[in-house]
Structure 1
């Protein structure tokens, strides 16, 4: 029994030795796994840091683009306001020009109406003149035959000039109407007409 006890002790010693060996092996295995997990964790952390840097760079780029877009939008808004103001000024000027054009159109129409009226009156005067001119020519010829005076129509204003062809001698006529009365001139001219018919 002592031998059995010794065997049992040796067995337990062996078992505990084996248990210790298993624990070490398990501990080594766990340490290996732990190292693998730490390596993976470090790799993941490096990847996460790289991704974070890339994300921050992308955010910075997007923020810069957004600021540039906002600045462009602000400038565009200012330009739009300026264009709207110019458009309003142009519309006001166009309205002013339209009013001026309407006024000028009315003036032009009035001038055309006046021109048509003048042409109508000229036609009326021409029609009247055609009737009166022969009688005026007849009266002038009749007066010339009776008075025997040939008038100088190119004399200066205020001067009455001509030649009286009397029965024997031609006599010049030279009268200044600014110096002589109309009655005197009329009596003088009638005095030249011969009374023996």
Structure 2
């Protein structure tokens, strides 16, 4: 501003002389040039300021987007950690169940082995002998009180029931 004031005083002094008119035109040209340069510099500064503001706005939006994405990823990570925790608990439960079932299986194997051992002991102790057919026929006659006729035709069954009161004949045709 001091330069403008000095120029104005010089400008006033030059007006008084003829030579001053030429210098005044020259100074006016310099003043106009200086003002044009000032306006150009001001326009350039405004343009740079607008570019800086736009860049700041883009960077701020980029930061907001990155922050939002980070929040989403944190939420997703928390969900994954919760799923992992549930899976870990389920795994622990399944391992405990497997251990219990394995113990039960071992107990059942021991019981089965014990049963096999006892079965062999029982088989060794009890031997079943099949009595002769005559003994069976006599035993059956004593129990049922039927006297069978073994000499009848094939396909026929004959016998006499000797019950407590009356003997009754039995005739059956198997054909």
TM-score w.r.t. the length of structure 1 is 0.54
In 2, Cα distance between the equivalents of 1:29 and 1:101? 105
SS at the partner of 2:129? helix
- Give yes or no for the alignment of 1:98 onto 2:95: yes
CA distance in 2, matches of 1:85, 1:173: 88
Deviations 1:101-124 (A, max 9, x none): 111111112222222332333334
Structure 2: stretches of 5+ with no match in the other structure: 1-16, 149-158, 164-175
Within the candidate set 135, 142, 150, 2:140 is matched to 150
**Which residue of structure 2 aligns with residue 11 of structure 1?**
none
Aligned-partner Cα distance in 2 for 1:98–1:22:
111
Larger-gyration structure (1/2): 1
CA offsets 1:152-172 (integer angstroms, 9 cap, x no match): xxxxxxxx647578xxxx876
For the pair 1:137 / 2:134, whether they are aligned, the reply is: no
Unaligned runs of 5+ in 1: 1-19, 152-159, 175-197
In structure 2, distance between residues paired with 1:27 and 1:162 = 167
Q: Which has the higher contact order (CA 8 A, sep 6+)?
A: 1
How far apart are residue 69 of structure 1 and its match?
2.0
Corresponding residue number in structure 2 for 1:49: 46
> How far apart in 1 are the matches of 2:53 and 2:162?
121
CA RMSD of aligned residues (A): 3.4
Contact 1:162–1:172 (8 Å) recurs in 2: yes
